[in-house]
Structure 1
Amino acid sequence: MTNATALPPRRTVPLPSMGWSLGDITVHRVDEIELPRQTGPWLLPDATKEVLDEAPWLRPDFADAEVPRLASHSFAVEVDGLRIVVDTGIGNAKPRTNSAWNGLDTDFLERLVAAGFPPDSVDLVITTHLHTDHVGWNTRLVGNDWIPTFPNARYLTSRAEWNHWADTDLDEARRQMFRDSITPVRDAGQYDLVDVPERGHEVAQGVFLVPAPGHTPGQVAVELRGSDRRALITGDSIHHPVQLSHPRVSSCVDIDSAQAVRTRARLLDALADTDALLLGTHFPQPTAGTVRRENGRYRLLAEHGSERPGDASSTPTQPR
């Protein structure tokens, strides 16, 4: 990734999280940072100005005049008395070769608490895939040691994802990521590997891991089946809404871009013309929307959600 400019200023008072109700499931977006403007052209090189122009609905929320906008955030899910965090972003104080991610100092944890998810109250952490910007807050720095941020949680990822990286000759940047964000959780005995069949795997009431390979071999999306409506958290199967209009626009870091295109097509076809929410892991605000077929393509009808201040004083639930 190209170099970033100065780090974003740290807020002293966390803002209420934005969220969506699915009936008996509530989803909060917990913001980390807006990614530098250079990220879009690097990550999605085929998402040119001309491609963006073919989907005018992308502006102004999802793109500026020239490039796609992207962000880093987590989704915090409340269901059946459980608190679940889906992907943990980049993390603070992590040594990274990517200057946009190196040594961050954000108020992510304060925002998580403001949403009603104190770290010791979280029951499950779902990792859609083992990339640096999805595991960073798995751990936090205490003294000279990286310790699990969520001490009472089980951390879940797919067995196929774990086995892929275990069998891969990692470069030093990825080894560093494993050392500070994954290995400490494994050594604490908190990582669980899950077999995810084609039909999906239910990890909590109404919370399903769904295969979404391509970006990585074992990536999963997270389907939420609430009593009123469904939602799908994308992981990196869909990086940006431009990929609804142009599903063949691929990420430069997809391991198998052809498979990623097939995965996107399958997920979008299942969502199209329903009331199910698409929740983009890197979509900038408003982050969510419903998928509609339009002139042989897909588009996103944005759904902004509402402010959902959490009860940070809630009694922590016990790990399941």
Structure 2
Amino acid sequence: MTTTTTSPAPTLTFGDVTVTRAVESVGSIGMTPDQFFPGTDPAAWEGHEEMLRPHFLEDDGDSTMRSTSRVAMQTWVLRSGSRTILVDAGVGNDKDRPDVPGWSHLRTGFLDGLAAVGVRPEDVDVVVNTHLHADHVGWNTSLVDGTWVPTFPNAQYLMPVEDLAFWDPAAGSRTIMGPGAHTVWADSILPVIAAGQVTSWSGAHRIDDALTLEAAPGHTPGASILRLRSGADEVLFVGDTLHSPAQVVDVHTSSCFDEDTVTAHATRDRLFGEAADKGLLMFPAHFAGPSGFRVERRGDGFAVRDWAPLTAI
């Protein structure tokens, strides 16, 4: 792995693949740890202030000075061979999100952030939606003259079969996300299906010689990770497998957005075990700070070993 900082955002190089990120937003999610991670073991938070602050916990500034969870909305930008691949697509602009008012009718400079790392919408070859939650598919589409159209007109959008089946309103799935998920389907998923730009996959899907998608269910039925293998390097982009380093301390700490907590626990335990044994960097979707990290085994569980050499956000 090598690091360069000649572009506006630091770039990591793994074999023949470069990785940088475009940040949509970073800040408090407006939830205390016990709200974001209901039933969490207090030991996963107590005694870990140095690890969690300032990038993963912050005070909300009101009279109670509650600690709230801090997250980043960001897209990993990979250049592999001659192609540009985006891993996840943020919240998006102009979207109506009545269940999450903080995500409604945003006007962010995300596309300017992509431009800052040398990516125009027409340059994107592949968009990976690791799963189909609102904060991973928002920039799939943009509002043009009152119509939702694909933001990346030349891209293949990769979506898990299981999530397409689960989130399709016609399926009538019962979900913890509520009826707002139907709005997400209408404005961020259906338009790219209608444009013929979606490729669905299940189990595993090879993007190219260096990049492979793999099922990692629990957070959603079709939740996935992206494995990068190039030269002597191997790293994992783990999506929403976890949202806080506290989940490394206790893999049984699940976010309130996990559809199947038992499966989510098993997925985290499996991925952490492999990452610890191989010394793999992992890049979650929503970690602020330097974002990428390695784990090590400690007793019957795991601990954060070190962080990727990325500028903290």
- Tell whether the structures are fold-level matches, with TM greater than 0.5: yes
Q: Which residue of 1 aligns with 2:262?
A: 258
Q: Secondary structure at the match of 2:11?
A: strand
Q: Which residue of 1 aligns with 2:196?
A: 189
Shift of 1:45: 3.0
Q: Secondary structure at the match of 2:207?
A: strand
Shift of 1:49: 6.3
**Closer, same or farther: CA 217–192 of 1 in aligned 2, 3 Å:** same
Could you say which structure has the greater relative contact order, defined with CA pairs below 8 angstroms and 6 or more residues apart? 1
Give percent identity, aligned residues only. 35
Q: Which residue of 1 aligns with 2:51?
A: 57
- The whole-number CA distance in structure 1 between the counterparts of 2:115 and 2:172 is 36
**Which range moves more in the overlay, 201-210 or 255-264?**
201-210
Q: Which residue of 2 aligns with 1:8?
A: none
Q: Number of paired residues?
A: 290
Over the aligned positions, Cα root-mean-square deviation in angstroms equals 2.1
Shift of 1:63: 2.7
Q: Which residue of 2 aligns with 1:90?
A: 91
Q: Which residue of 2 aligns with 1:118?
A: 120
Give the conservation status (yes or no) of the 8 Å contact 2:167–2:181: no
User: Given the alignment of the two structures, is residue 231 of structure 1 paired with residue 225 of structure 2, yes or no?
Assistant: no
Q: Secondary structure at the match of 2:57?
A: coil
Give the conservation status (yes or no) of the 8 Å contact 2:243–2:284: yes
**Which range moves more in the overlay, 294-303 or 225-234?**
294-303
Give the conservation status (yes or no) of the 8 Å contact 1:160–1:218: yes
- The whole-number CA distance in structure 1 between the counterparts of 2:260 and 2:54 is 31
Q: Unaligned 5+ residue runs, structure 1?
A: 1-14, 308-320
> What are the within-5 Å matches in structure 2 for residues 213-292 of structure 1?
213-292=217-296
Q: Which residue of 2 aligns with 1:71?
A: 72
Q: Which residue of 2 aligns with 1:304?
A: 309
> How far does the alpha carbon of each residue in 1:144-201 deviate from its partner, in whole angstroms, 9 at most, with x for none?
11110000001011112212223234754111111111111011000111122xxx33
> How far does the alpha carbon of each residue in 1:60-110 deviate from its partner, in whole angstroms, 9 at most, with x for none?
333347343211111111111110001101001111111111111111101
Shift of 1:50: 5.0
**Closer, same or farther: CA 119–40 of 1 in aligned 2, 3 Å:** farther
Query: Which residue of 165, 170, 178 corresponds with 2:185?
Result: 178
- The whole-number CA distance in structure 1 between the counterparts of 2:183 and 2:270 is 34
Q: Which residue of 2 aligns with 1:140?
A: 142
Q: Which residue of 2 aligns with 1:161?
A: 163
**Which range moves more in the overlay, 284-293 or 181-190?**
284-293
- The whole-number CA distance in structure 2 between the counterparts of 1:228 and 1:165 is 38
Q: Secondary structure at the match of 1:151?
A: coil
